[in-house]
Structure 1
Amino acid sequence: MFRRLFHPSACSQGFCMRNLASCVSRCNERGWFHLRKARCFRNYSHGSCYKGQKTFGSDEGTLQPWKNNSKRKWSKAAGFTVVGIGAFASCILAYCEAADNEEKNEEEKCTCHEEDNPLGKIESPNFDVIPKNNITNGIEKPVKNLTLEEAIHESVDLLYQTMEIAGIPGLSVGVTVDGCNVWSTGLGYADIENKLPCTKHTVMRIASISKPLTMMAVARLWEEGKIDLDAPVQKYVPKFPKKMYEAKEVTITTRQLLSHQGGIRHYKKKNGKKNSDVKNTLPKKQDESSEKEETKEVPDEKSSTSEEEKEVANPEHIELKNIKTSASNNEQNHSTVKRETTKKHEREGKKKRGKENEFDSKEYFIKEEFKDIESALKLFQDDDLFFKPGTGYLYTTHGWTLISAVVEGAAEKPFTEVMCKLFHDLGLNNTYLDQHRPIIFNRARYYIRNKHNRLINAPYVDNSYKWAGGGFLSTVGDLTKFGNAVLYSYQRKEDSKDLLLGILKASTVKEMWKPTEGTKMDWDQDGSYGLGWGVVEEKCKHGFCRACRHYVSHTGGAIGASSVLLILPSNDDLTENEVPPKGVVVAILCNMQNAGLNKVGLKIAKLFERVPS
């Protein structure tokens, strides 16, 4: 019983010994622990070797240091943990049994140390296992390569952690390395009610990843000379009103809109109020239905006059009524103050937690279909600018609606036709406009959480008012293909004659991925915003501190959906014999809103970067 009780593997029965097994084994060839005998163990709090005896008393146990130069209380770090009353009694019985059987060996010497070194013999490390080039200029590099199976296993763990934290019902993930699809799968459910699992073919809302796709359409028109990025937007959209800021006329350019520096609002107006007056700019169907809600009952004049006559006839009734009125007024004032205080605390709490939840805006829940871009512009075109164009930064989806109008004017075609032609040229066979009527196979259901944090179906919304900024559907396979097309264009040398042309010139992609001064990357504080992409540059300010890898990405958030598309280019310059793309592309889509996916996407990209090609 004694030896079983204190075996290192039975830590739940008495003392926690897992961290001490290697040291105790030097005292006992079987690796068991004897309480009454002299013993040696490692104190991880102080890094010194002790011998002593565990005692049960008011002192709660003390450790006698090896050279008796001090006295310290035992702790979990030293390897002792008593679990429960039953375990405590078992320890006492075992202690007595050990005392009877081993009285002659109380002062047995510990053999796990040497006189000159209380820490014992330290084995010299094998430096042959550490690569010589794992550190460059104070920047640590991954020491060990991973197999494909190991990278997939760790990625699955990361994704399940993200699903548990954000409460995601289902997601799809796709990873390519050097242009080859190495892993794509689905986790969880695309449709909970019908128990349909997510797969790599599941179609979901990509939300703001629509912006990089729209950016490619702009870039192609730019290369063709049909768009001047620095010209006023009125050149392509004559009906868009000229804007004023601080009583002065200002100019908004397409380049400023592409980097969110045009001053156009997002889902909140400049006065700080959410847009409760959306129905004034919607199609007429909602205006007609809203008129019924605004009608009010007119009080009866006869009943009011009869009450006045009663008050004149009975003065006591007037006095009693005044008392009741004053009491009710006090209650109303108290409740009003209480509501205002509560709202104040809520606003302060939101400020402490960060920016307000943009999904509270009613514009997110628009259900009416907008037939053209011109009608969508009416949502915001007459609103005040937040700042003088080019002097600030405000992430805005409405600004990209104005960009879609610029594309229409430059291409002389409807924006939806331009984008469908682009999807065809890219080979994105499973990328669509987010429309309700068409039958789209493998389309997922979308979910949100209610005020009780229970999972419910997301409400129906129509995203036709923001095609360019967040109105497309796609799969992870199509998104990684799109990412590789951009990466190929970025890495292909323009003087190369043996390689096929990229869909864009390398100089164009470099301009897109160039950080714009005064901008920021909302989903990574180390980055900035370029033209339609978030960009993080390679940098490391201090040796052995935080080092940033160069990568580009864009995240997305829509009603019932979140997304990320991340491109991690290879650090090494391509040789003449190497064919682009070289790097990792990761796409993740899920059917739950407000799920931050950029961080997990970057971790997965770095894991697959360690897989030898």
Structure 2
Amino acid sequence: MFASSARPGRFARAVASSLSRSALGALLMMGSAHAAPTESYPLPPSSSRHEARIQQARAFAQELLKGKQLPGLSVAVAHRGQILWSEGFGFADLEQSVPVTPLTRFRVGSVSKVLTAAAVARLVEDGRLDLDAPIQKYVPSFPVKPWPMTTRQLAGHLAGVRHYADKDEVIFKEAKHFSSITQALSLFQDDPLLYEPGTKYTYSSYGWNLVSAVVEGAAQEEFLRYLQRSVFEPLGMRHTLADHAQQLIAHRTRFYANGPMGTHQHAPHVDNSYKWGGGGLLSTAEDLVVFGSAHLQPGFLRKETLALLFTSQKLKSGKETGVGIGWRIGVSAQGRRILHHRGAIEGGRTMLMLFPDSQLVVALLSNTYADFAEEQAAQLGELFMAASKPTPP
């Protein structure tokens, strides 16, 4: 373990009471009458000093649920590692009228990339991963290309590895299962690079498949096991795991697509084993804000490592890309500095947004492919900004 790894327990303790309340409430709700889609769960304590903001945020979430025709929605907001608000809206299962709770697990899509980036960071801190070494150092089976590529370039979408293409649709429709990270590389490893690494920016989830293989090689440990041991367990993220299609997973939502005239239908069946590190994980809103909170100050990661994650990479021309190691770096419409990533996947939409200057973190998760993202997360964060101001002496 790293010398700096003793502090992650603080983030776990910060949310322990919230998780306990959520678990108890979930048990009570399971035995109650079905909730209406516009009702939320659980209600915060009436004595909460954030009650006024929570009431505004609840109205915002209910409008989002209705306006985007979402089957279900889970929201959490944290400040300095403490969860201010966590609530579920609508249904995790429309047919059985099962309500969303803070324990409901959603597909997080490409937010999986920043979770994987934390595993990369741990290996860098441990001196086991050189971001600028050719990736064959860690994945010797990957074919050599006309130009070398590095983990840093892959993590910033600068390596020239392609994204999804029409020829992949057969694999996706068949829901083919891949038994290992390296087996899944066969989807793209023989394809030519789109350009010389470092000369252009092209978003690539397949590039993060390769990052996952690098993690395995550097850690000398199976990717999902290392992710669990080095990231999820230290942070107390007890509800985050791979979306194994054939396994029974407690509190996993059903996945939906929007149909005609405001209706819903089941999303196509998928097997996400081809992209664990790039888009194949499940999580909860509470786990995601705990994860985000751990990135706002040194502790889980060192100060210099956080700077590495959140510093924009540059093309060989010198132009900044606005992406660090996985994370997107930007400014909200309200003019606040933000660190963020969204996920869009069959049956899921997720947004994780960090406001580093305010030490605030927002997570939004839904069980359908919808078009909410940065704008809604930033608006929700604004409702809690007063809570993030330093207390006067």
Q: TM-score under structure 1 normalisation?
A: 0.53
The answer as to whether partners of 1:536 and 1:548 remain within 8 angstroms in 2 is no
Structure 2 equivalent of residue 472 of structure 1: 281
SS in structure 2 at match of 1:256 = helix
Alignment counterpart, residue 511 of structure 1, candidates 308, 318, 321: 308
User: What is aligned with 2:351?
Assistant: 564
Q: What is the alpha-carbon distance in structure 2 between the residues aligned to residue 382 and residue 241 of structure 1?
A: 7
The equivalent of 2:199 in structure 1 is 391
- Measured after TM superposition, the shift of residue 537 of structure 1 is 5.2
Distance 1:259 1:363, change over 3 A: farther
Preserved CA contact (<8 Å) 1:204 1:591: yes
- Tell me the percent identity: 39
Could you tell me which amino acid in structure 2 is paired with residue 151 of structure 1?
R
User: Secondary structure of 1:151's partner?
Assistant: helix
Deviation at 1:388, TM superposition (A): 1.3
**Where in structure 2 are the equivalents of 1:89-128 lying within 5 Å?**
none
Contact 2:106/2:365 (<8 A) preserved: yes
Q: Offset of 1:559 from its aligned partner? A: 0.7
CA shift digits 1:534-566 (9 cap, x unpaired): 11159xxxxxxx762111011001111000111
Q: Which residue of 2 aligns with 1:261?
A: 158
* 8 Å Cα contact 1:205-1:471 kept in structure 2: yes
SS of 1:600 mapped into structure 2: helix
Distance in 1 between residues matched to 2:112 and 2:171, nearest whole Å = 18
Distance 2:321 2:189 in 1: 30
Structure 1 runs not aligned, ≥5 long: 1-146, 244-248, 269-273, 279-360, 490-501, 520-525, 539-545, 572-582
2:51 to 137, 144, 149: 149
Q: Does the alignment pair 1:201 with 2:103?
A: yes
Q: Deviations over 1:172-199 (max 9, x none)?
A: 0011122211111011111100001111
Q: Partner of 2:31 in structure 1?
A: none
Q: What aligned pairs does 1:205-354 form with structure 2 within 5 A after superposition?
A: 205-243=107-145, 249-268=146-165, 274-275=166-167, 278=168
What is residue 408 of structure 1 aligned with on the other side?
216
Indicate whether 1:382 and 2:176 are aligned: no
Higher Cα Rg, which structure: 1
CA-CA distance at 1:380 after TM superposition: 0.5
Give the SS at the match of 2:218: helix
Q: How far has the Cα of 1:591 moved from its partner? A: 0.3
Corresponding residue number in structure 1 for 2:375: 599
Letter in 2 for 1:431: T
Residues 271-314 of structure 1: CA distance to partner in whole angstroms, max 9, x if unpaired?
Answer: xxx11xx4xxxxxxxxxxxxxxxxxxxxxxxxxxxxxxxxxxxx
Structure 1 SS opposite 2:294: helix
Equivalent AA in structure 2 for residue 193 of structure 1: E
1:385 partner SS: coil
Separation (CA, whole Å) in 2 of partners of 1:475 and 1:365: 27
Cα RMSD after superposing both structures: 2.1
TM (normalized to structure 2)? 0.81
Q: Which amino acid aligns with 2:207?
A: G
Check whether the contact 2:79–2:293 (CA below 8 A) recurs between aligned residues. no
1:609 paired with 2:385, answer yes
- Aligned-residue offset at 1:518: 4.8
Q: How does 1:529-544 map to 2 (within 5 A)?
A: 529-536=323-330
Unpaired runs of at least 5, structure 2: 1-48
> Distance between the aligned counterparts of 1:565 and 1:459, measured in 2?
25
1:425 aligns with 2:234: yes
Give the letter aligned to residue 189 of structure 2.
Answer: Q
- 1:160 is aligned to 62
SS in 2 for 1:601: helix
Shift of 1:366: 4.7
